Structure 1
C-alpha cells in the first residue's frame, strides 16, 4: 500500500502533482467514481463505499456491478479489491475493520461530498472531473472488464449458463 508523505493532501499544488493512480487512490476516488457514472463506459455499475470502523482511516469509493469493480487500479474482481484494501489497512492498523455501503448521493456534488468528509470538484487546484475523464478514457473497458470478470470465480447468477 502506498503512503503519502505528510502534508501532501493539505497542499493543493503537491496534491495535484501526484500521479493519477495516487491522486485518485488518496482522496479523489469519489470524483473518479462520479465521473465514471456520469458517462458510463459500461452499463450496470453503481457506487459502493468502504467505511472504516470508528477511529480508523481507509474510506474508499469505487464503482461495481456487484462482481467487477473499477477504481484507480482499473478493473478488478470486487472481492479481490475489497480483500486488497482490507489487507493493506489491517496490516498497518491492527483491529482495522469496515462495512460496505451503497452510495445514494451525487459524487460530483460538493455539498454532498463535504457531508461525507470528501473534497468536492471545485475544491481542488484544477478540474478533477476532467482529470478523471481523461483517466477513464485511457482504459479499454470491454477488454479490461472481461479480464477482471475471469477472476471473480464461477458463473455469475445472470449468466446464460447458470
Structure 2
C-alpha cells in the first residue's frame, strides 16, 4: 500500500502532481468511480463504499458488478479488493474495521461528496473528470474484466461452505 507523505492531500499542486494511480487511490476514488458510472465501459456496475469505523482512515469507493470490481488498481475479484484493503489498513491501525455500503448518491455531485467528507470535482486544482476519462480510456475493459472474472470464478469455486450432514 502506498502511503502519502504528510501534507500532500492538503496541497492542491502536490496532490494534482501525483501519478494517476496514486491520485485516484488517495482521495479521488469517488471521481474515478463516478466517471466510470457516467460513461460505463461495461454494463451492470454500481458504486460501493468501504466506510471505516469512526476515528479511522481508510474509506474507499470503487465500482462492482458484485463479483468483480474496478478501482485505481484496475479490475480484480471484488473479494480480493476487499481483503487487500482490509489487510492493508488493519496492519497499520489496530482495531480497524469497516462496513461495505452500496453508493446511493451521485459520485460527481459536490454537495453529496462533501456531506461524506470527500471533495467534489470543482474542489481540485484542475477538473479531475477529464483525467479520470483518460485513465479509463487507457484500459481494455473487456479483456481486463474477463481476466478478473476468471479469478473471481476460481475463488468462488474454491469456496466450499461447511455443510452439515442432514442424516
- Count of matched residue pairs: 155
Aligned to 2:69: 69
TM-score, scaled to structure 2: 0.91
The alpha carbon displacement at 1:154 in A equals 3.8
More helix by share: 2
Structure with bigger gyration radius: 2
Distance 1:126 1:150 in 2: 37
Q: Quote the offset at 1:94 in angstroms.
A: 1.1
Give 1:128's aligned residue.
Answer: 128
Q: Secondary structure at the match of 1:100?
A: strand
Paired position in structure 2 for 1:51? 51
**RMSD between aligned residues:** 0.7
The equivalent of 2:95 in structure 1 is 95
Displacement of 1:2: 0.7
Query: What is the CA-CA distance between 1:96 and the residue it aligns to?
Result: 0.5
- State the Cα deviation string for residues 59-90 of structure 1 (Å, max 9, x = none): 00000000000000000000000000000000
Q: Secondary structure at the match of 1:66?
A: coil
Tell me the TM-score normalized by structure 1. Answer: 0.94
